[in-house]
Amino acid sequence: MLIICLNLLDSEEEKTKFEELYYTYRNLMFFAANELLTDEWMAEDAVQEALIRIAKNFHKVGEIKCHQTKNFVVIIVKNVSLTMLRKEKALVGDSIIEQMELVDMDDTAFDLYNYKKLAKQILDLPETYRYVIYLRCVYEYKVDEIAGLLGLTTNVVKKRLQRGKAYLRKQIEDECE
């Protein structure tokens, strides 16, 4: 599998770096996938799919052995696993968030609030919204890159960002009142 993933990378430097990522995190990725899927076969599929997505969008991955990259690979493999789980169990979305208005919101709108309180609200978001926000705000991936990483259309990513932020804003305003 490594060979296949390596073919998705452009330079020798990227290949070496991807090898390092693969060997560092393959077991952790399997652990994270299996934790959700509780099925080793499905977990393998999730790891495989996640590695291919990471390889295709590898240019922004920095240092391999650090918390940021560790969390990044887990976000991707968990997202793949959740998508598989959703198909398997026909899970429905969160209706409250899905009814949120689609409004472009500047990130500075959150600067009024305490970051720890905001973090608590982020952690209460469903993973589908939370992971998109992580990838956009922390890893600074573009919308189309997030779409590639998560196997979504750019339109869905935009909507999740808009709705996720709108929901966060509402929740934190309610809490402050």
Partner 1 sequence: MNTLKEASAFAIEQEFEYLPNENEIVIEHIFSNVFEHNIDKLKKASERHYVRFGRHRLRRSLVVACILILLMGMAMSVSAIRKPVLDFIVHYTNGMSKVEFITDEDSDAALKIEYQKPDTPNGYSISKETLNEFGCEIEYAGPSDKYIYYSQFDVETSGLSVDTENANATEKSINGCKVLETSKYETNTIAWSNGINGFSLLGNCDMEILEMMAESNQ
Q: Which two tokens stand for residue 11?
A: 């330079």
With H, G, I as helix, E, B as strand and everything else as coil, classify residue 134: helix
Stretch that binds partner 1, among 64-72, 82-90, 92-100, 144-152 (CB under 8 A): 64-72
Binding status of residue 170 toward partner 1 by CB under 8 A? no
Q: Which is nearer to partner 1, 2 or 156 (CB)?
A: 2
For residue 38, what are the CA distances in angstroms to 33, 61, 77, 81, 151? 8, 28, 14, 10, 22
Can you tell me the distance from the alpha carbon of 149 to that of 110, in angstroms, rounded to the nearest whole number? 26
Sign, CA torsion 29/34/39/42:
negative
Q: Which residues make Cβ contacts (< 8 Å) with residue 57, sequence separation at least 6?
A: 141, 145, 148, 149
Binding status of residue 71 toward partner 1 by CB under 8 A? yes
Per-position x/- string for 42-61, each x denoting binding to partner 1 as judged by CB under 8 A, each - no binding: --xx--x---x---------
Give the residue from 66, 73, 62, 68 showing the smallest Cα distance to 30. 73
Name the minimum Å distance from CB 96 to partner 1: 19
Query: Contacts with partner 1 in 26-45 (CB under 8 A)?
Result: 26-28, 30-32, 40-41, 44-45
Among 82, 90, 98, 123, binds partner 1 (CB under 8 A): 123
Residues binding partner 1 (CB under 8 A): 1-4, 7, 16, 19-20, 22-28, 30-32, 40-41, 44-45, 48, 52, 67, 70-71, 74-75, 107-108, 110-113, 115-116, 118-120, 122-123, 130, 133-134, 137-138, 165
